[in-house]
Amino acid sequence: MKNSQKGIIAALLLSILLFNNGLYAQKKDNDKKAVIRQLVENRNYVFRVQTVQPMQPSPNRQITSDYDLKISPDTVISYLPYFGRAYVAPIDPSQGGIKFTSTKFEYTSKERKKGGWDILIKPQDTQEARQLMLTVSDNGYATLQVLSTNRQPISYGGYIDEKKGKR
């Protein structure tokens, strides 16, 4: 009889512990979604690249260096790698990748039906990119597609984060 009581008490304590952990995880998830929402609505975040998918038939490439796209209300700073076909070679070979700073751009953000956002950025003062299409999920994971005038399109996978420090 005493063993069955101990078993019931142990099961009760275990279920309480698991329930509290579930509530904590849900609260933490809701907090992260609120932070992501605020970053997107304030137009003040960084898209950090983890993978690159060139349009040519090739596998995703994992990125180990720090590449990103910084968004602020008045500036877009791109420091992205590029793998693929360029139709016009840069004059300076060290200027590879998609690197630019734009202060004149269109920015539209549309909330998705099942959560997250579709963001369209059209820089008007650079030849490096015509259009940047960013799809952000509620939890911060994102994909970025870059359409360029002189290069094949390319896609990036990663996440958005708060801005920290200066490059």
The stretch 36-46 carries a mean pLDDT of 91
pLDDT > 80? residue 24 = no
pLDDT at 156: 93
Q: Smallest Cα–Cα separation from 121: which of 135, 105, 102?
A: 105
- Its sign, for the CA torsion 27, 72, 66, 121, is positive
Q: Smallest Cα–Cα separation from 156: which of 48, 83, 52, 80?
A: 52
The stretch 59-85 carries a mean pLDDT of 88
Least-confidence region, from 23-37, 70-84, 103-117: 23-37
Q: How many angstroms separate the CA atoms of 110 and 131, rounded?
A: 16
Those residues whose C-beta lies under 8 Å from the C-beta of residue 100, and which sit 6 or more positions away, are 76, 77, 78, 123, 126, 128, 129
The stretch 104-123 carries a mean pLDDT of 93
Q: Residue 121: pLDDT band by 50, 70, 90 thresholds? A: very high
The CA radius of gyration of the chain, in Å to the nearest whole number, is 22
Which domains, and CATH codes, for the chain?
Answer: 35-161 (2.40.128.410)
pLDDT > 70? residue 3 = no
To the nearest whole percent, how much of the chain has pLDDT over 90?
Answer: 41
Which residue in this structure is represented by tokens 């995703």? 60
Beta bridge mates, 145: 133, 155
Greater model confidence, 47 or 150: 47
- Mean pLDDT of all residues in the chain? 83
Q: How many angstroms separate the CA atoms of 163 and 39, rounded?
A: 9
The stretch 87-111 carries a mean pLDDT of 82
pTM assigned to the model: 0.76
